Amino acid sequence: MTILRFNRIAALAAAAVLAACSTTDHGAREAGQRPTNLKSTEASMWYEMETFEESLKQSGRTIEDPVLQSRMAQMTCQLAGEHCPDLRVYIVREPSFNASMAPNGLLMIHSGLLLRAETEDEVAFVLGHEFVHFLENHSVERYAAVRNANIAGSVVGSILGGAGAGSFSSLGYAAAFGGAFAFTREQELEADRLGLEFARTAGFNPKGAPAIWKNLLQEAEATSNKKKAKEVDRSGMFDTHPLIRERIALLESFAVGTEQSAEDRRAYRAMIRPHLLGWLQDVIADGDYGASLALTQRMMAQGEDIGTLNYVRARIYMMRKAEGDAALAEDALKTAVAASDVPAMALRELGQIHRARGDRESAAANLRAYLLADPGARDRALIESLIAELEETTE
Ligand SMILES: [Zn+2]
C-alpha cells in the first residue's frame, strides 16, 4: 500500500472520528455495543473502519514496541473500564499531535502526540478526551453529515495538498478539519472536562491536562509558518478544538492537586527514548523551524537526551540556513558529540564540517568516531576513503 493511500484513509478515519465533536446528544454507548441494523450509517462506518484497520496493520506505520504498546493499552483500559475489551490500541508513526478513537474501537495514538507529552498523565488526559467522544457516540451522526455533504473528499484533498504525501503536517492537518467542520466549542470543552475526570478517576494527575496544551501552545506560538501563525491568532488552531488558551484556563481550574514531578517526566522520557530521534526527525521534516526549535528547546529543559536533541537542533539549523545558522549548527553538533547519547550522525556531520573547512585532523577524528559508533554505516566505504585522504595530507 502506498503512503498516499494510507493517508487518504487515515484522513477519512480521522475526519469521521474528530467529527465527533459537534453532534447533538446521542446518549452514551454500552460496553460491547455493535451496530444492529446492517444498513445503518453506523454499520457502514464500522465496515469502513474495519477495512481501514486491516490496512493500518499492513501499512508498516504502526510502532512495534511491546513496552510502549502494553503501557498504552493498560492506560486505555484504566480509563475505559468496562469498555476496555472493545478497544484496540495502535501507536501510529505520524508526526502530528493527534489521537482518535473510532466507534468500532480502533484507537490510534500518533507518535507526534507521545513525543510532545512529558508525562503519562498528559497522555492519559488526551486518551480520556477521545474516550468521551467514543462513549458519547457522536461520530456516527457526524459521519453521516459529512458523507451526505460530500465534504470528506475536499477535506482529504486539502490535507494532502497542503501537507504532501509523506505525512500530515500537524497544523495543516488539524486546520483542514477545523475548516471543514463546525465543531462546537461546548462539546470539545465537555470532552476536555470529562476526559480530565476519567483520567483523574483512573489515578492520573489532572495537572497533565492543562500541561499538554501548554506544551502545544508554546510550539504554536513559535511557528515560523505564517499561515499557521494566523491560525493561532484566530485561535481555532490545532484542530477541531476550541480556543487553546480558553481550554488551558478551564483545565487549570479543574486540575487541582500537586504539580507533575521531575520523576514522572524522567520515567516517561525513558519509555519513549528508543523512538526519540526518529520521531523528532519526522517532525522537523515539515520545515516549521520555529516550532521545531521550540519543541527541542522545551525537551532539553529536562536535562536528558542532550546528544540526540542537539543533533536534531543542528539539523534544523542546517535546513533553515538563515544568517548565523551554520555557526549555531556547529555549536549544537559540538554539544551533541560531547554527550553520552551522541547519535552517530552527529559525528559524521561535524566531521564533514571540519573537512570542508580544511581542519583535517579533527575531521578525520570525527569520521573515525562515526564509523566506530555505527559499524554498519551504509556509507562506510565512502567515509573510509575520506579518512584515508585526510590522513594522507595530515602526515
Ligand atoms: Zn475532541
pLDDT for position 121: 98
**C-alpha of residue 100 to centroid of ligand 1, in Å:** 9
* DSSP 8-state code for residue 362: H
Radius of gyration of the chain (CA): 23
Please write the tens of the pLDDT for every residue from 62-107.
Answer: 999 999 999 999 999 999 999 999 999 999 999 988 888 888 899 9
Crossing angle (nearest 10°) for helices 152-163 and 139-149: 90
Type and span of the H or E element at 291: helix 289-300
pLDDT for position 355: 96
**C-alpha of residue 98 to centroid of ligand 1, in Å:** 10
Per DSSP, the residues of 212-261 read: HHHHHHHHHHT---HHHHHHHHHT--SSSS--HHHHHHHHHHH--SPPP-
How is residue 346 written as a grid cell? 552527529
**C-alpha of residue 389 to centroid of ligand 1, in Å:** 58
Give the CA distances from residue 225 to residues 193, 211, 221, 324, in Å, rounded to whole numbers and listed in that order. 31, 24, 10, 20
pLDDT for position 393: 60
pLDDT for position 30: 86
Among 143-152, 294-303, 319-328, which is the least confidently predicted range? Answer: 143-152
Please write the tens of the pLDDT for every residue from 151-199.
Answer: 444 443 333 333 332 333 333 333 333 333 445 677 788 889 999 999 9
pLDDT band at 40 (very low <50, low <70, confident <90, very high): confident
**C-alpha of residue 241 to centroid of ligand 1, in Å:** 6
**C-alpha of residue 51 to centroid of ligand 1, in Å:** 23
pLDDT band at 140 (very low <50, low <70, confident <90, very high): low
Say if residues 356 and 318 touch (Cβ distance below 8 Å).
no
**C-alpha of residue 240 to centroid of ligand 1, in Å:** 7
Q: 100: which strand partners?
A: 108
Ligand 1 (ion): which residues have CB within 5 A? 21, 191
**C-alpha of residue 176 to centroid of ligand 1, in Å:** 15
Instruction: Tell me the average pLDDT across 339-357.
Output: 97
User: Rounded to a whole number, what is the largest CA-CA distance in the chain?
Assistant: 82
- Mention every residue, 6+ apart, whose C-beta is less than 8 A from residue 141: 23, 24, 26, 41
